[in-house]
Amino acid sequence: MAKRPRLLLWLSLAGISAFERCGDANNNCYKWSLEGRCTNSSEDSVRAYCPFSCGVCMPHSCSAEKADEDFCNADLESHDEEHGGMHCSFWHHLPTRGRIDVYFLHEEEVLVGSLEPNSVFGVKTYEDHVFRLRDAGSQDLLATVRMFRTRIVLIIDEDFMESLKDCVDLPHETWQGSCDDWAPEGQCVPNPGFMTVYCSRSCYACHLRQEETRCTRRFLQMNQEPALRPGDLEQVFRDMNERSKKYSTAMRVLSQSPWIVTFDDIISEEEMAELLASTKVFNQSRDQGEANAFGMQEGIISSKRTSQTAWCQDTCKELPSYIAVINRIAEIVQVPSENFESMQFLKYHVGERYVEHHDMNNEKDNDFACGPRIYTFFLYLSDVEEGGETHFTQLNLSVKPRKGSGLLWPSVLSENPTVQDERTMHEAKPVLRGMKMAANVWVHLYDFSTPNHWACTGGGR
Ligand SMILES: *[C@@H]1O[C@H](CO)[C@@H](O)[C@H](O)[C@H]1NC(C)=O
Ligand SMILES: *[C@@H]1O[C@H](CO)[C@@H](O)[C@H](O)[C@H]1NC(C)=O
Ligand SMILES: *[C@@H]1O[C@H](CO)[C@@H](O)[C@H](O)[C@H]1NC(C)=O
């Protein structure tokens, strides 16, 4: 069994070519497999002709001289989901249509089955495979869809048809990039969020354009429990001093209701240097704008926030310092790091500030798959000669930047972690002398990385 993942990885990476080498030799294979003919011992030829549908890919290679043992011994029947194999069902709920034919698109269309109205048709398939639906009578093309791991049930109803209407790639004038190049290169599956939004048509992902479809926890297969249950937050802070001792020289409690704490020396000089060296480009801060027709929010230059920001991305996220700091914070707040947004670096010059605001926008944050921000862990990466304090306006509590220290506060109430704690409104006071370098680590109630991968967390967040 231990050898199995390698094999299936090969299968899924090979994608279409795996299908080619392990393809069904008869168009009725799917139908036969559904009729149970793959396992009928008096019909061996079905397995031989239909290795793909019967889940016994490449039987020939197993009988060949250079048989791949791993491959032949693998339990392909179960289609390891982790490596892209999956079982997908098409549900026909279009009252105005008769039978619908389902084709696998592979250079030419291969009929794999038919759907009577109000029936279900299941296929074993792999992520990235493309299927076509045609009216069985007229052969009119109804839809072309790509398989994504998170979309294993396709309900073909009026809403589904509506979602395909007027579906185009994002017009070229509005961005730099090429769906014509990127989709054939295979970018649709590894970058599903970006590619679904920008290249819906080229990726055959028109049915996933709308956030209401694409961004539910159910669609994203997020089974994770929320990071906080009512009352947990209080307990997390009560136990925090003990947990933080191995990382910080002192935890200081500035307030207990709401909890606001600081940590001395939570990040080392070397870590700060490594992180800051990785982020050379700082841009004017942006707020979130309205979502456009493609379900993508535009960033708008912020008037409330005059600082400059940069996100820790790509190679920055692989730095040992980054990983160490994130794991440290994850342990202190007792939330898995998947729930964290990427670290955001901040730079405030003299006169720059961020007016009073809250890090949880409003109750609507609960509609996002990642839920609201529950904590902000703010890292001071420089001292500031004068000004630049983090000021909690409702509490009249100011925290002076101190290089290497951290400041932690909750955005939600302990008794109900979906409700904003208004008491943690805060502002960044203008820098009066010197420069302020800092970083935000925002922690969400649910996994942030999965919805982020699917462009489901709003625009500039
Ligand atoms: C197996 O195949 C034989 C020959 O086609 C057929 O007579 C028999 O009914 C099948 N058995 C099952 C359980 O489908
Ligand atoms: C930041 O600014 C640089 C230079 O102006 C630009 O090339 C880059 O795309 C910007 N990055 C973001 C995330 O806006
Ligand atoms: C806020 O705190 C400062 C310093 O601790 C104090 O001087 C000031 O009077 C307080 N303001 C209010 C409105 O309580």
Q: Note the pLDDT tens digit of each residue in 277-312.
A: 988 777 777 665 444 444 444 455 566 777 788 888
For ligand 1, whether the C-beta of 41 sits within 6 Å is no
**Confidence label for 336 from pLDDT (cuts 50, 70 and 90):** very high
Q: How many residues does the chain have?
A: 461
Q: How many domains does the chain have?
A: 2
Residue 71, pLDDT above cutoff 50: no
Q: Which ligand is nearest to the CA of 391?
A: 3
Pocket test for ligand 2, best of 176, 194, 283 (most atoms within 8 A of CB): 283
pLDDT of res. 264: 98
For ligand 1, whether the C-beta of 43 sits within 6 Å is yes
pLDDT of res. 275: 94
Q: Which is higher by pLDDT, 444 or 4?
A: 444
Q: Where are the alpha helices (DSSP H) in 139-286?
A: 158-164, 179-182, 192-198, 211-214, 232-238, 240-244, 269-277
Residue 234, pLDDT above cutoff 50: yes
Contacts of 454 (CB under 8 A, 6+ apart): 150, 192, 193, 196, 214, 215, 220
**Confidence label for 44 from pLDDT (cuts 50, 70 and 90):** confident
The three-class DSSP label of residue 129 is coil
Phi, psi of 207 (to 5 degrees): -70, -5
**Of 63, 81, 99, the domain-final residue:** 81
Q: Could you list the residue range(s) of the whole structural domain that residue 355 is in?
A: 232-453
Can you tell me the distance from the alpha carbon of 457 to that of 116, in angstroms, rounded to the nearest whole number?
38
Nearest CA to ligand 1 atom 12: 40
134 in any annotated domain? no
**Of 52, 81, 110, the domain-final residue:** 81
145 in any annotated domain? no
Residue 197's alpha-carbon distances to 141, 153, 183, 371, in angstroms, are 23, 21, 12, 21
270 in any annotated domain? yes
Distance from residue 155's CA to the centre of ligand 3 (Å): 60
Phi, psi of 131 (to 5 degrees): -120, 150
Distance from residue 283's CA to the centre of ligand 2 (Å): 6
For ligand 2, whether the C-beta of 1 sits within 6 Å is no
Distance from residue 266's CA to the centre of ligand 3 (Å): 28
Give 296's DSSP letter. Answer: -
What atom in ligand 1 is closest to the CA of residue 35? 14
What atom in ligand 2 is closest to the CA of residue 310? 13
Distance from residue 314's CA to the centre of ligand 2 (Å): 15
406 in any annotated domain? yes
Q: Which ligand is nearest to the CA of 308?
A: 2
**Of 14, 46, 81, the domain-final residue:** 81
Residue 112, pLDDT above cutoff 80: yes
Residue 206, pLDDT above cutoff 90: yes
The three-class DSSP label of residue 211 is helix
**Confidence label for 24 from pLDDT (cuts 50, 70 and 90):** low
pLDDT of res. 287: 60
Residue 198, pLDDT above cutoff 50: yes
202 in any annotated domain? no
Residue 219, pLDDT above cutoff 90: no
For ligand 1, whether the C-beta of 331 sits within 6 Å is no
Nearest CA to ligand 1 atom 11: 40
Chain segment 124-170, per-residue pLDDT in tens = 777 788 999 999 999 999 999 998 877 777 889 998 999 899 899 98
Among residues of the chain, what percentage have pLDDT more than 70?
Answer: 81
What atom in ligand 2 is closest to the CA of residue 282? 1
Can you tell me the distance from the alpha carbon of 1 to that of 288, in angstroms, rounded to the nearest whole number?
48
Mean pLDDT across the chain, nearest whole number?
82
Residue 33, pLDDT above cutoff 80: no
Can you tell me the distance from the alpha carbon of 255 to that of 269, in angstroms, rounded to the nearest whole number?
28
128 in any annotated domain? no
The three-class DSSP label of residue 87 is strand
Q: What is the CATH number of the domain that holds 335?
A: 2.60.120.620
For ligand 1, whether the C-beta of 34 sits within 6 Å is no
For ligand 2, whether the C-beta of 281 sits within 6 Å is yes
Residue whose tokens read 């030829």: 45
Closest CA to 211 of 446, 461, 459, 432: 459
56 in any annotated domain? yes
Q: Which is higher by pLDDT, 49 or 73?
A: 49
Q: Which is higher by pLDDT, 15 or 298?
A: 298
